Structure 1
Amino acid sequence: MNEEQQTVADIITSTKIAMMTHHSADGALIAHPMATQDVDFTGTVLFIAERGSDKVRDLVADPRVNLAYSGKGSWVSLAGKARIVDDEARLRELWGTFTGAWLEGGPDSPNNILIEVEAESAEYWDAPGSSRTVQLANLARSAIKGERIEGDHDVVDY
């Protein structure tokens, strides 16, 4: 894993919730909040979903997705392809109280599956200083000096 891939993984890990955008059956763009279960940043992100959901049917028909993460002064836009994974052992390993609050039946339910997104590329923005105090200080300094705030930005290919 190179430094840019590590930055993407760090932002995703600290943010946890992604907006997953995909194409619906009629071709419209649809976005759903999804809780990231695991990040393997050679470029793989895992989510838990229900097999019978519209989003899973849509992903089977057209696996192209974009995952958008927004955290404390950091953002990632990850483009990739999704696939449905039946792995009860992995599902059991990732299942938690949060997951159980949103999905029925637990990891043993045949309706619960994994969505694995394999990244093709990612773009990230990382503002200097992640605390609100540092961000406000950067804004004040920018206004006083008339200078643009410089942060890290990069495009990462997988």
Structure 2
Amino acid sequence: MTDHDTDHRPDDAGAAKVTELVRGVRIAMLTTVAPDGRLMSHPMATQEVDFDGTVRFVSERASHKVAHIEANPQVNVAYSSSGSWVSLSGTARIISDPALLAKYWDTFTDAWLEGGPENPDNIVIEVDSTSAEYWDSPGGKVVQVLNLVKAKATGKRYEGDNERVDLP
């Protein structure tokens, strides 16, 4: 499989691979559509990845991203770590639920948002992903560098794992 192929993988195996790649990546980029059609990306701390395809973030109701989601719920969530990348496409919704906020509230969240889970200004952004695409270069940075040098020396394309996954 090359890095430009986008074959479909069975949902269970693909979802498991996406979950594996996303776990441990704390910060994601949530991309929303602004009213003028521009794409806007926002760094977000992932609260939970249960991969029935759903990811959650804690935010403030008055933020631009929330206004964008309320106007157009189509979003993308991108993750990047050493040697792997995941792009999730889906639909976001805003949830006002102090009990759900309390479940995800931690010292990291407390440093960025005021008033705790009881503050009506704090909300959960829930993204139901419908598809994902991932790129994975096994072996970490050293193997990646060696593979790139090998590709340059031999003239053959760098091989990596790239799949498109339909999520339930």
- Percent identical pairs in the alignment equals 52
| TM-score normalized by the length of structure 2 | 0.87
Identify which of structures 1 and 2 has the higher relative contact order when contacts are C-alpha pairs closer than 8 Å and 6+ apart.
2
* Aligned counterparts of 2:138 and 2:48: Cα–Cα separation in 1: 26
Question: Which 5+ residue runs of structure 2 have no aligned equivalent?
Answer: 1-10
1:27 is the counterpart of 2:25: no
- Paired AA for residue 114 in structure 2: E
Write out per-residue CA displacement over residues 106-138 of structure 1, whole angstroms, 9 at most, x where no aligned residue: 1121111100000011111101212x2222222
Q: Which one of 103, 127, 151 corresponds to residue 160 of structure 2?
A: 151
* Structure 1 segment 57-136 matched on structure 2, within 5 A: 57-130=67-140, 132-136=141-145
| SS of structure 2 residue aligned to 1:2 | helix
Root mean square deviation, CA, Å:
1.4
* Aligned counterparts of 1:20 and 1:114: Cα–Cα separation in 2: 13
Question: Which 5+ residue runs of structure 1 have no aligned equivalent?
Answer: none
Q: Which one of 39, 46, 66 corresponds to residue 49 of structure 2?
A: 39
1:55 is the counterpart of 2:65: yes
Shift of 1:61: 1.1
Give the conservation status (yes or no) of the 8 Å contact 1:74–1:125. Answer: yes
| SS of structure 1 residue aligned to 2:23 | helix
**What is the aligned residue count?**
157
* Aligned counterparts of 2:34 and 2:149: Cα–Cα separation in 1: 43
Give the conservation status (yes or no) of the 8 Å contact 1:128–1:150. Answer: no
Write out per-residue CA displacement over residues 77-106 of structure 1, whole angstroms, 9 at most, x where no aligned residue: 111000011221221121111111111111
Give the conservation status (yes or no) of the 8 Å contact 1:23–1:58. Answer: yes
| TM-score normalized by the length of structure 1 | 0.92
Shift of 1:76: 0.8
| Residue range with higher mean Cα deviation, 18-27 or 56-65 | 18-27
| SS of structure 2 residue aligned to 1:75 | strand
| SS of structure 2 residue aligned to 1:15 | coil
